[in-house]
Amino acid sequence: MAKLYFYYASMNAGKSTNLLQADFNYRERGMATMLFTAAIDDRFEHGTIASRIGLSAPATAFDASTDLAACTLDRQARETLSCVLVDEAQFLTPGQVDQLAAIADDHGIPVLAYGLRTDFQGELFPGSARLLALADALIEIKSVCQCGRKATMNLRVDSQGRAIAEGRQTEIGGNDRYVALCRRHHREALA
């Protein structure tokens, strides 16, 4: 029986690197995969999953209107898929997460979704909330705070490195906009 997996972490924990490694492992064995990434993430070339250590792979870009099940089943009709991998899974809609669960349950294709659990204010993203509710397996990818403890929070910062406490839930950025911290240091930064 295929499963829906949710690999979650704070920023800069290596989620995309882990996804690309999993994709490589499948392809190295001659197995076909399908990769999705959020169209909103404009840090790299459109439709590309890229890691900070230089790995990348082409992917199907999704937004809130994308029917992930239809895309996957269309591809499955042309070649047998062994796995579906989703980067930036926090940007999925709850309905899209339901589609991914159906891909695993009804079509026997494992789905590995990678994303943030919470935003810079410690609130769940809608896609992440639905994944936490439905995933067969929840796997935390560890990151480290400046103090050496496990980083679980994402602090949004301005161009001078000062903490930002308010704003839209989604603002794309990397090390220039976010710092991964433990809960204590996140609270202190926002105090």
For the residues of 35-89, what is the DSSP string, one character each? EEEETT--SSSTTEEE-TTS-EEE-EEE-TT--HHHHHHHHHHHS-EEEEEESSG
Annotated binding-site residue? 83: no
Q: In this structure, what is the dihedral angle of CA atoms 71, 74, 76, 81, given to the nearest 10 degrees?
A: -20
Name the fold adopted by 4-141. Rossmann fold (3.40.50)
The pLDDT score that the predictor gives to residue 51 is: 86
Query: Is 28 a catalytic site residue?
Result: no
- Say what the pLDDT of residue 162 is: 86
Q: Regarding predicted confidence, which is higher, 78 or 1?
A: 78
Domain ranges of the chain: 4-141
The residue-averaged pLDDT of 81-100 equals 98
Q: Does 174 appear as a known binding residue?
A: no
Map tokens 């829906």 to a residue.
Answer: 4
User: Among 88, 166, 171, 188, which one carries the catalytic annotation?
Assistant: 88
The verdict on whether residue 14 carries a ligand-binding annotation is yes
- pLDDT band with cut points at 50, 70 and 90 for residue 43: low
